[in-house]
Amino acid sequence: MSKSRREFIAEVGGVGIGTVLLGPGTLAAADAKPQSAPPASMIFETVLTEGVAQLSYLIGDKASGKAAVIDPRRDIDIYVELARKHKLTITHTLETHIHADLVSGCLGLADRTGTAKVYVSAEGGPEYGFPHEGVKDGDTIDLGRVILTAKHTPGHTPEHMSYLVSENNHPDQAFAIFSGDCLFANSVGRPDLLGDDQTTGLVKQLYESIYEFYLALPDSVRVHPAHGAGSPCGANISDRLVTTIGYERKNNPALQFKDEAAFSEYVLFTAPPEPVYYPRMKQENTAGPTVLGRLPTCPPMAPKVFEEAVSQGDVQLVDNRQMLSFGGGHIAGALNIGPRAELSIWAGWMLDPQKPIFLVLPQDTDLPEVQRQFIRVGYYRFGGYLLGGMEAWNNEGLPITEMGQMPVHELNAALPPTELQILDVRTPGERQAGHVPGSTYIFLPELSQKAKRLDKNRPVAVYCDSGYRASLASSLLLRMGFQDVHNVPGSWKAWKALGYEVQTPDVQKKGTDTDLS
């Protein structure tokens, strides 16, 4: 019997931590009827890890008491708490593929629970360095009335596995699928992360997985992907956290092609730059992440002790405060990676996992959450944090450095730029959609290598989309010896809001092309 979205939400446990709400406009009306109704005893929870825009899931059966976690993140407490809340035992922890964007929590969950086994794909020739259960195409995982059926869907990676969800009395009538990094809302997984020598073959496999498997599913099947908007694992992923096959069939731009060649051109042209930490994540997840058991040690340090420690040389000083606080006064040499979930991505882009990290925090109580954001992308070495923050530092009379802030009104008044250098540090896709006239483009992760394009003796104003990345870039320029550096708060959002002039390129280039003018 078909059920409405509201009835489905009620059946799967109501609104809990991370539960996906199927809001207005999420599903087309014609797509809302499931092929087979979810069992009344099913528990379904979605965990959104912001910053890396990763989606993981807990699915279980109240009647059997068994649950599986799909694609868990490194900090696993939330899954343990959800299982406890619903009186479930986590018996299975599944990976759709070897992740490149964050560290897997599968081994940690197996260790913490003592009941969960790790299930990974045995298709496509992967070699794992940890105990596991191999899953082949067509294998099923029995959670009681809920059955997961593995389907080999290579393309993003050779081993990639999707999981169909059905009732045990209707195993051939899936009502949902965990699509991993194969199919996203408004996008598909990128096939170019394993090097040029594998890209052609992976594109072909991705095309076949999408067009021969996914598009053969009924329109009603709900799609639960491993990523949402903001993830570099696909181009232009929607902020819809759940979708349907029918909706994607009609609206997903990657699903509108008649042949593999056109599909390949689109997918490779639109892919964003690959984060430099992805190969490291892939290697760590293949070998098997070390089970931490707890957050890494990060001792509190009084201001003078902290000053001595960060002056020793080969360390990384990260100031996690908001951009305006950082601009008002900070410790010389600090990088401003502010208090947002995007810290994970920008730590991955900008920091060395082998060098100890010293932290300046907005509040001492922020330490656990900040560390969780670091460990998600494989940073475990912490030298310590400044006890009492910048207030304690200032009270000791220790030296501070300022960084200028230039509102967009002042930036606009400086056009056309003569003495002032305007620096755009956004992604290539953002740059090509429009930029401040007369600005120089350097993609933020390449700023250290390309800063020679700028004149250290002239003032620089740096902008991004909101000012978050611009403040990080500005702090890097100060550390490199630039003297007159200004962050632009509000940046492109404020520029557009005030209707200032926008310049656009004549020719669009690939999303991975960072050598733009």
Could you read off the pLDDT of 475-510 as tens digits, one per residue?
999 999 999 999 999 999 999 999 999 999 988 899
Q: Please give the radius of gyration of the chain, using alpha carbons only, rounded to the nearest integer.
A: 24
**Could you give phi then psi for residue 497, rounded to 5 degrees?**
-60, -30
Q: Return mean pLDDT, the chain.
A: 92
34 pLDDT band (50/70/90 cuts)?
very low
Could you read off the pLDDT of 419-466 as tens digits, one per residue?
999 999 999 999 999 999 999 999 999 999 999 999 999 999 999 999
| Per-residue confidence (pLDDT) for residue 312, from 0 to 100 | 87
What the chain holds in terms of domains, given with CATH numbers, is: 5-287 (3.60.15.10), 300-395 (3.40.250.10), 404-497 (3.40.250.10)
- 3-state SS, residue 43: strand
313 pLDDT band (50/70/90 cuts)?
confident
| Per-residue confidence (pLDDT) for residue 69, from 0 to 100 | 98
Cα–Cα distance, 499 to 284 (Å, whole number): 46
The CA–CA distances, whole Å, from 11 to 4, 15, 40, 142, 457 equal: 10, 10, 5, 19, 65
| Per-residue confidence (pLDDT) for residue 38, from 0 to 100 | 64
| Per-residue confidence (pLDDT) for residue 37, from 0 to 100 | 56
Handedness of CA 219, 224, 227, 230 (dihedral sign): positive
Helix, strand, coil abundance in the chain, percent, nearest 5: 30, 20, 50
CA 38-42-47 angle, 5° bins: 105
| Per-residue confidence (pLDDT) for residue 517, from 0 to 100 | 75
Could you read off the pLDDT of 116-164 as tens digits, one per residue?
999 999 999 999 999 999 999 999 999 999 999 999 999 999 999 999 9
CA-closest candidate to residue 117, choices 88, 77, 90, 145: 90
CB 104 within 8 A of CB 96: no
Whether the per-residue pLDDT at 23 is higher than 50: the answer is: no
Neighbours of 392 (CB within 10 A): 15
